[in-house]
Chain A
Amino acid sequence: METLTLLAQGFAVALTPGNLIWSIIGVTLGTAIGVLPGIGPATTVAILMPLTVGLPPVSAFIMFAGIYYGAQYGGSTTSILLNTPGEAGSMMTAVDGNAMARRGRGAQALATAAIGSFVAGTIGTIGLTFAAPLLVEIALKLTAPDYFALMVLSLATVTTMLSNPTGGGSIAFGIASLFFGLLLGTVGLDPQTGQARFAFGVPELLDGIDTVVVAVGLFAIGETLYMAATDGGKADSMHKLRGSFWMSREDWSRSWKPWLRGALIGFPIGAIPAGGSEIPTVLSYTLEKKLSKKPEEFGLGAIEGVAGPEAANNASAAGALSPLLALGLPTSSTAAVMLAAFQQYGLRPGPLLFESNSSLIWGLIASLYIGNVFLLVLNLPMVGVWVRLLSLPKPWLYGGILVLSSLGVYSLNGNAVDLVILWIIGMVGFIMRVIGVPIVPCVLGLILGPLIEQQLRRSLAISQGDWTVFVTHPVSAFFLLVALAFVATPIISSLRKPKPQSAVGMTR
């Protein structure tokens, strides 16, 4: 009850005309930087920070929060239309979103992403309002073995994505792709000792290979080269726009559950420190594929494959604000910049700020609800505009994708070595596409490999080499059991099936 009163006071702050304008500026700017691959919300807020000195803190934070939420919305646009994920969290959206766009259903993919983002963003914000302190309290109880087990579970779910959706190739190709990703993940500084691995004296490789560079290389560059090589000569438009732009009754009925499930996965994982946005999107995608009546459509344009991960991504963004606001812990680069912005005003987020400066905190939370509404209003009409991109002649579109991807990757860190890596990975992606190797396992291996390694080694360092910590911690044991079931079920069922057949063979 008290929370509702405080929230109402927050709305009173956020709904003043001045603050509404800052919110609109924030979400518009956020959407724009989300659409451009490369420049993220952290950089944008950092650039704006010294310029906002004269503003009252609450207005500045309303704008920053708008940028943060807006960037999550914008990120799906390039993934769906151009197969160019601008950040790791929108990678899973690219898989089925772009497949939908190719089948002339780009508008529906964008719509389910935008509405799903709104639904999940709002659920996440509600979670932030009412459950943040409690959730963070629980999340803090998770230790390295638990994180390790959660990441092993995510890796186990990758096994459902090993086969190539477009046909051809074998499970062996999927496993090879996964291990190639894990190999790429070992490049850079050893997380426990800080020694260089596979850097070959190139300082740019010391930080490892950026996930976004690999994702853009494999998805955008590899795929575009393949398309251009196979049918690039024809100058007609890439994707015919078919029928209505609006989602059909079937689209709605296939979307709403994934939105809710995505939000329920995304928010808590986003709220745990080091949870991130990649793991919830991967888990949501796998879950939707498992639950779907048409799992064979996944990879070829299943709307659930867009609705779920996109919702998970946005809810995790709301979740990631929880440790910052509830405890003052920056657990992502954007949160670190926001923390710096608080400090610019001599404020320190945390439980004390809720008491000492409640109108600021609650105004900020209220603005998240309002920002979400603005984002929906801003993004839905844009769907019609964005999909027109797809009616460009193919050579223009292909050229545009290659330029935009290269530009985006360069703007990540502003160094040319990333471009070289991008194009090498792009060529690898092209070859993978030609011989039918699925690319998703590779990117997931790259994301999960270093996380698993760090948590495994941290667990063992703390336990002084005692491996039993993974089974004596209940949360860890639970996740590992689920992961085991995930991997074992298909093996056991495939072992059972051939038996009668071989028996028949024997009698013959």
Chain B
Amino acid sequence: MTFTRRTALTALAAAFLLAVAPAQAQTIRSLDITVPGGPGSGLDQAARGIEEALRAEGINAVKVNNVPGGGGMIAISQFVTTKEGNRNAVVVQGAGTVFFPLTNKTPVTLADVRPLARLAGEYEVIAVRHDSDVKDFKDLMARFKANPGSVAWGGGSPGSTENIFFARLAKIAGMTPKQVNFIPHPNTGEVVVSALNGQATVVGGGLQDFKTQIEAKKLRLLAVASPERLPDVDAPTLRELGYDVVFANWRGVSVHKSLDDKSANALADLFAKLVKSAHWKKILNDRGWLDLYLPEQPYQAFIADETRQAREILTELGLATQ
């Protein structure tokens, strides 16, 4: 009963919007951002950053709606059912949103929305405790090859960016993903703790997660997974070391699939303009994010590529469901 009533109301609202919309189709005056994660999570920070930058551009009616749970799929599913035809609604997503449906059967995936733009992110880095007897990345891989179980690789949750990242390193090293002794953690704070007290031989994550400890000489970087060396970072890229892995924890936005190209483009233009704004650049700088902007087509191709690679790795790990 309620469902049909809600559907009817949505349809009515959509019809109403369609009726009045043509007069002001091109300008976006408000934005409704759905976040698949709780306050303080990575995706939440991205959404709050978008909100802040839009406010600086004079768009004040920005609403951020946190929908945690289900590996982000509850938010996607809510977005799909409630934002049909909504030209002012976007949902944020990241690498985790792509990976999760691969390890768990979920009623929706990122394929149920229309990815619009990749915005920002951080390349993965690998760090050890400052006084660790692991000398450098080559030494780490030598130890791993000699006795795989003895290297404890610390990272985020199972099936997370780090889990897949480490597995790819193992493959390139001629080992199998299953040989990686991955130690999952519920948050980045605990990853750092595991590195500092030595229970993890090596940890992975965003540079920003480790920067304070690196500056305080408590952690030491072994390598970064960026295509070129990062500015002001004294660590080689994995490519230089002969491991062709580029891995980023990225964030992007999608719109509802029901939108016509005109409405979707209006939102795409908004984000294209946003990423060039001075305030957005300041936000990126303050939070240590990199500008990883990709417009709609390349972004969708990128997601397809990420999905394919992750599925391959997760299948080898025995974690993939489909």
Contacts and interface: CB of A to CB of B under 8 A. Distances in A.
Interface string A124-144: 000000000000000011111
A328 B212 contact: yes
B295 interface: no
A240 to B, nearest CB: 42
B257 interface: no
Given A329-B193, A413-B68, A42 B319 contact: no
A204 interface: yes
Nearest to B105: A201
B52 interface: yes
Interface stretch (B7-15, B36-44, B242-250): B36-44
Contacts of B103: 194-195
B135 interface: no
B297 interface: no
B215 interface: yes
A333 B197 contact: no
A415 B66 contact: no
A428 interface: no
Interface in A291-339: 323, 327-331, 333-337, 339
Interface stretch (A94-102, A108-116, A387-395, A458-466): A458-466
A340 B319 contact: no
Contacts of A142: 197
B27 interface: no
Contacts of B319: 193-195
A331 B187 contact: yes
Contacts of B150: 464
Q: Contact size class for A?
A: 35 or more
B61 to A, nearest CB: 13
Interface string B138-150: 0000000000011
Contact of B40 (A193, A196, A327, A340): A340
Contacts of B157: 189, 194
B69 A350 contact: no
A201 B187 CA distance: 25
A381 interface: no
B190 A327 contact: no
A42 B69 CA distance: 16
Interface stretch (B71-79, B86-94, B111-119, B233-241): B71-79
B48 A49 contact: yes
B6 to A, nearest CB: 12
Interface in A141-167: 141-144
B77 A143 contact: no
A189 B286 contact: no
Contacts of A45: 39
A203 interface: yes
Given A53-B52, A274-B190, A329-B192, A46 B39 contact: yes
Nearest to B99: A194
A141 B197 CA distance: 5
Contacts of A339: 40
Which of B69, B200, B215: most chain A Cβ within 10 A? B69
A462 B199 contact: yes
B67 A415 contact: yes
Contact of A42 (B39, B65, B70, B106): B39
Given A340-B45, A462-B152, A204 B38 contact: no
A197 B187 CA distance: 21
B158 A193 contact: yes
B104 interface: yes
Which of A190, A192, A193, A333: most chain B Cβ within 10 A? A193
Which of A194, A335, A336, A413: most chain B Cβ within 10 A? A194
Interface in B17-40: 38-40
B69 A461 contact: no
Contact of A46 (B40, B74, B77): B40
Interface in A419-444: none
A333 B68 CA distance: 12
Interface stretch (A11-19, A84-92, A341-349, A398-406): A341-349
Interface string B93-134: 000000000011111000000000000000000000000000
Interface of A: 42-43, 45-47, 49-50, 53, 140-144, 189-196, 201, 203-204, 206-207, 273-274, 323, 327-331, 333-337, 339-340, 343-346, 348-352, 413-415, 454, 458, 461-462, 464
19 contacts: A42-B38, A47-B64, A53-B55, A143-B197, A190-B158, A193-B319, A194-B157, A203-B73, A203-B74, A323-B189, A327-B212, A330-B187, A331-B190, A336-B189, A337-B40, A340-B40, A413-B68, A462-B200, A464-B150
Given A344-B286, A348-B211, 13 more contacts: A43-B66, A46-B39, A46-B66, A190-B158, A192-B158, A194-B104, A274-B190, A336-B189, A339-B40, A343-B208, A352-B212, A414-B66, A454-B186
Interface of B: 38-41, 44-45, 48, 51-52, 55, 62, 64-71, 73-74, 77, 103-107, 149-150, 152, 157-159, 163, 181-184, 186-190, 192-193, 196-200, 208, 211-213, 215-216, 285-288, 319
